[in-house]
Amino acid sequence: MPQAQLPIFPHGTTQINANLAFERQADWVTYFHGLLPVFKHHVHDTKTFHLIVSQFYDNGNATQAEMCRVFGVTPISLKRAVKCYREKGAAGFFEEPARRGAVVLTAPVPATAQQQLDEGSGIVEVAAQLSIKADTLRKAVAAGKLHCSVKKKIHHTRQTS
């Protein structure tokens, strides 16, 4: 028959629930299960903090409400950490963040677009020919990466009789 554990924690710890507690000493945070230290990380190491709280939650050692109350984190940040832990495991907290892919206006595209714009084609026509969005070309023109020929304005003069 399993024996119940008394909720005994070392002096100076902050209790998370009846089984878990943590203690901050200088720049280190140590987590305890009863008297047994189970994990330790630097105070400013947020990636490791997210890892350990998501493990505690996912393993059923602590509830979302207990974690939010004790650590002052928002429920959504804990949910995101748990999702990362469940999908990618511990390594998910330490991988490089995803970066944007290659831009649409790679080397040959602006040159072709500029040539067609110089010949008098409109932005919409050039975009259709190059299979890119017209807004992409408009933004390139606005940023000064491409230039459009200025259309001549027709001035109408009034004749008074």
Over the stretch 58-107, which tens digit does the pLDDT of each residue have? 999 999 999 999 999 999 999 999 999 999 999 999 998 887 655 777 77
Give this prediction's pTM: 0.59
pLDDT of residue 9: 78
The domain segmentation of the chain, as residue ranges, is 14-93, 108-142
Q: Which of the four pLDDT bands, split at 50, 70 and 90, describes residue 6? A: low
Cα separation, 51 vs 105, whole angstroms: 39
CA angle 41, 42, 47 (to 5 degrees): 75
Quote the pLDDT of residue 44: 96
**Model pLDDT for residues 141-152, shown as the tens digit of each residue:** 888 888 887 654
Is the pLDDT score of 157 beyond 70? no
Contact present, 75 and 68 (Cβ < 8 Å): yes
Distance separating alpha carbons of residues 1 and 86, to the nearest angstrom: 32
Strands (E), the chain: 14-15, 20-25, 28-33, 36-42
pLDDT at res. 159: 65
How does pLDDT run across 9-28, given as a tens digit for each residue?
A: 778 899 999 999 999 999 99
- Identify the bridge partners of residue 37 per DSSP, sorted by sequence position: 32
